[in-house]
Structures are given as C-alpha cells and as structure tokens.
Amino acid sequence: MTDDHASDPRRRYSAPVVDGVGKAPSRSMLRATGFTDEDFTKPQVGIASTWSRVTPCNMHINTLADEAGRGADAAGGKSVIFNTITVSDGIANGTEGMKYSLVSREVIADSIETVAGCEGFDGLVAIGGCDKNMPGCLMGLARLNRPSVFVYGGTIKPGKNHTDLISVFEAVGAHAKGDKSLIEVKQVEEEAIPGAGSCGGMYTANTMASAIEALGMSLPGSSAQNAEDNDKLEDCRAAGEAVLKLLDRDIKPRDILTREAFENAITVVIALGGSTNAVLHLIAMAHTVDVALSLEDFTRIGKRVPVLADLRPSGHYMMSELVAIGGIQPLMKTLLDAGLLHGDCLTVTGKTLAENLENVAPYPEEQDIIHALDQPIKKDSHLRILYGNLAPTGAVAKITGKEGTYFKGNARVFHSEEEATDRIMDGTVTAGDVLVIRYEGPKGGPGMREMLTPTSAIMGRGLGQDVALITDGRFSGGSHGFVVGHLTPEAQEGGPIALVETGDEIIIDAEANTITLNVEEAELERRRAAWTAPPPRYTRGVLAKYARTVSSASLGAITDGD
C-alpha cells in the first residue's frame, strides 16, 4: 500500500491507479478480477483483443490474446485482456451495412485509447484480424504512445481448388453470365472458407499486416503466418514478452513511427502489389503521430519501387503460399540490399530494421511467387495517384498493367453501389462503359463503402478488360480490373464527379496519372450552378456523427483532424 510511483518508471500509468492507501477501492475491484498483492507492483500490460464470432478473421483471437497475456506475465508484467469491436467487410459488402466498415477503424482506435487511458495500462499488445482492425489498433496505440506491439491474427488457408472469398464473389458474377450453375456457386460458397484467419490473398488485411511489420510495430514474421499454426501462438507470447523489454528501454510508438518508417511501409506495400486501402490507412496512421504523409509520397516512392509479388487478386498465389517460402522477410532483405528501405529505423525488437534482417535467408531458388528485382511484374507502382478535372485533389487507382494502363469510354452514372451492381448483373453494362458510382464517399455514403460486389460482378461476367469503374468510394483489397477510387473532392461536397452525366467521355491514363472528363468548362460551370447537395442520408447515430467529422479521403478520412 506504499506509493511506488517513482520507484519503477515502467509503472508510470498504473501506479497512480493502484498505489497507496487512497487507491484501496481500485485494488479491491481488481482483486475480484484475479489480481494479487504481487500483481499491484508489476507493470500492467493491456491486451487489446478484437475477438468476435462475427467473422472467421477474428474468431480465434481470444486464444491469441490469452497467449499474449501469458507472455507478458512470464516476463514480469500483469496482463489485462480487454475487447474492442470488429465488423466483417466480407459479410457486409454490397449492403447498407458496409457503410459502418471504415467507421469501425475510428471506433477501434477510440476504444483502445479510451480503455487504456482510463485503466492506466503501462504497455499494450493489440491483436487484429480483419481489414480495419489493424489501422484502428495502430492508431489507438500511437495516440497513447506507450510501449506497444501489434500482432496480426494471421491468414486463412486456401479453400478447395485454391479458392477464397473473392472466388465466391466472382462466382456470383459468373452465374449471372451463365458460366456457373447454382450448384457450382454453392460448392464454391461451401468450400472457399475452411477456417479461421483473414482473407487469403494480398487483400487489405494481409496488406496492412505487412505494412505494419515494415513500419517496425510487429515482431519480424508476424505478418506472414497462418492463423491456425503454432507459429502464431508463439508470435503472441513473444509480443507479450517484448512489451516488457520496451518498457525497460522506454521505447514508444512515436520512436518507431517516423517518416522513414512510413516510407518503408509504402515500399513494401508496392512490392507486394497491395491494396489501395493502404493509401487511406497509412496517411491516417501517419496523421496520428504528426508525420506529414500525402498522396504525393506514394507517387514519389512508386517511381522507383517495382511490383514483385505474384499474389491475388491480380496474381496467382495466396498468402499461405508466401508463408511457406519465408513470408515477407526475404523480400524486405532484398529491398534493403537494393537501397529501397531505410535500414536504420527502430523496431519493436529494440533493434533496427537492418539488424532484424541481417541473417534472413533468401527465398528458395525454385519459387516463383516473388520475382527478382530485375524481372518485376511491373517496373513501378501499381498504386497510381491520378489528378485531373475529375479529381482535382487526387484519386487512387490500382493498375497492375494486366488490365492495360489507358482507358477511354463513356460514362454510365449510378448514385449507389446497389444500382450499379444490378445493371452489371442484368447485362445493361457493356464493353466500353466507364461506370461512375458516386455519393459513396466518406461524407456522402457516409462511410466510403468498398466496391467489391460490382468489381467482382464485372470480373465474373468477363468484362475485366472492357469496363472501367470510378468512384468516390473505395475498393476492397480483393478488387481488380480497371478501377479508380477515392475521387476527391467527393460528390457530396460538390466535387466534379457529381457533375458527370451518362454519355460523357472519360479518359483514364495510368501512365500520365490523369483522369479527365471530356466536357467543356462552360458546360461544367452550367452543371455546377444547377447542382445542389442531396440531404444527409443519416441525421442521427454513428454514421451521422462520422459524416459531420470525417475529412477527405485524400487526407486519410480521419475524424480527429484540426
């Protein structure tokens, strides 16, 4: 019952909560949860778990949280597990519920900050599985700036016949075209998701896990492990132990999350052919630690970094197959040796990135998942930042080159994702169309839905090289084809995408990085004068609050801006 605040600097936050006679009520409450006298003298480590039965991505994370807690306890800390939310993009896609997806990133960050700030945890482990869990966890850890480690819940293994969730989405489009029967669609549905873990390609979950490891906030190898393998349990135990070492050295997220670390993350995302959502999330995460990161950084870095990974959605392999040949560590070693990574960045091991990679072995010679630097899949980035009279403050395209780099066609305008999907499925959309899906931005949706359902329908109907899609919404990491999202300013704010009419000519040039509406300026001014913003779709609740506070997608769609 003594006041120990100054005796153990590792207990900077927990000591004021539990030390001294005046904190007897606090200790009494904690005794009911299992604390002993000895526990009150230990640094407290909060274990932020995104466990839920909502989705296979997160349904095993309670087990992982227990292991992280054991690791922290064995290293001399006192672990306290708490939960935050998750939603499932894969389940909600194509419905009104998907509007809550990007919102969940903010809720997760807010909840981790709230619980840890209130309870006085000295260090943290956060474990995320589905798309928004990861940036949400990182943003929460970064706001608190207490010694912390992030753990990825791991990837799912392939379903029968090398299938995954995107196989199911595209099977639906193939059925609409007449290429698959209902029985065949049901077979894919039943077999594509065999167990726990995040979607199996280089979609948003695996992209963000890889980016966070490149940032230095995960232990080496954490991003490339199967969800249900023992390696993932060991990763969690080690993360719990690592927090105590970080407490000993007072290494905090802001010491790790430097501008150079974010450049490393961008480089790795590009080399892996990762999701467009990485642009949105990395900018938001950088904002949290006051690092100035912008769309221009993706263009600058993208000019010198090639795409090397032959991974889905545009490639052939799944994350579990990359895990089998060594994960992303050999790729990072290759990039470091080529001068494409900053090796002096600090990581949660307490060592630099270069020190972590020093003894990493190369990939097996016979593998063809990761290409050599001199034989890239694409010589520069697939993430293209486009500007033009359709996107004065930027748009984000995912152009691998397999779908071409130039598209000219006539607009077919839709005011919602559902409307566009219906017209794709019934055959109204034909070759040469540029689908314009608007009022799906952060404010207009609200919530900036992913367009996985329409892009999968396009691919399933065999129109992947014949149709382009542009939107002020965003895309799933599983989307592929000639797609451009994050058009800013968004339609709800009167951006040029609000002025497009069906039949207008649109040109997308992913070499010149331009997106152009071929309409005379005088005509656009006439349309602008006649345009009025539609009323908000929600006036109460979390979506209404989000719409009132969210920034432009080009600024990361943050809700805690200046």
Closest CA to 318 of 364, 273, 255: 273
For residue 397, the SS3 value is strand
CB atoms closer than 10 angstroms to residue 292? 10
3-state secondary structure 272-329: HCCCCHHHHHHHHHHHHCCCCCCHHHHHHHHCCCCECECECCCCCECHHHHHHCCCCH
Active site residue 320: no
Please report, in angstroms and rounded to a whole number, the separation of the first and last CA atoms in the chain.
43
Q: How far apart are CA 152 and CA 212, in angstroms?
A: 9
Q: How far apart are CA 85 and CA 437, in angstroms?
A: 29
* Residues forming beta bridges with residue 385, ordered by sequence position: 396
Q: How far apart are CA 516 and CA 21, in angstroms?
A: 69
* Residues forming beta bridges with residue 148, ordered by sequence position: 124
Q: How far apart are CA 53 and CA 138, in angstroms?
A: 22
Give per-residue burial for 54-72: e unless 16+ CB within 10 Å, then b: bbbbbbbbbbbbbbbbbbb
* Token pair belonging to 260: 């150079």
* Token pair belonging to 134: 């990861």
**Sign, Cα dihedral of 50, 53, 54, 60:** positive
Q: How far apart are CA 330 and CA 307, in angstroms?
A: 15
Q: How far apart are CA 468 and CA 455, in angstroms?
A: 9
Furthest C-alpha separation in the chain: 77
* Token pair belonging to 93: 């896609």
**Sign, Cα dihedral of 206, 212, 213, 219:** negative
* Token pair belonging to 36: 């002993």
Preceding amide of 158 cis, omega within 30: no
Q: How far apart are CA 336 and CA 268, in angstroms?
A: 10
Given this model, what pLDDT does residue 177 score?
A: 86
Single out the catalytic residue among 104, 167, 476, 554. 476
Given this model, what pLDDT does residue 402 score?
A: 82
Give per-residue burial for 227-247: e unless 16+ CB within 10 Å, then b: bbbebbbebbbbbbbbbbbbb
CB atoms closer than 10 angstroms to residue 482? 28
User: What is the pTM for the complete model shown?
Assistant: 0.97
**Sign, Cα dihedral of 210, 213, 217, 220:** positive
* Token pair belonging to 237: 């135990």
Q: How far apart are CA 276 and CA 404, in angstroms?
A: 17
Angle, alpha carbons 342-344-346 (nearest 5°): 110
**Sign, Cα dihedral of 560, 488, 514, 276:** positive
* Residues forming beta bridges with residue 384, ordered by sequence position: 397
Q: How confident is the prediction along the chain (562 residues), in pLDDT tens digits per residue?
A: 445 455 799 999 999 999 999 999 999 999 999 999 999 999 999 999 999 999 999 999 999 999 999 999 999 999 999 999 999 999 999 999 999 999 999 999 999 999 999 999 999 999 999 889 999 999 999 999 999 999 999 999 999 999 999 999 889 989 988 999 999 999 999 999 999 999 999 999 999 999 999 999 999 999 999 999 999 999 999 999 999 999 999 999 999 999 999 999 999 999 999 999 999 999 999 999 999 999 999 999 999 999 999 999 989 999 999 999 999 999 999 999 999 999 999 999 999 999 999 999 999 999 999 999 999 999 999 999 999 999 999 999 999 888 889 999 999 999 999 999 999 999 999 999 999 999 999 999 999 999 999 999 998 999 999 999 999 999 998 888 899 999 999 999 999 999 999 999 999 999 999 999 999 999 999 999 999 999 999 999 999 999 999 999 999 999 998 7
Rounded CA Rg of the chain? 24
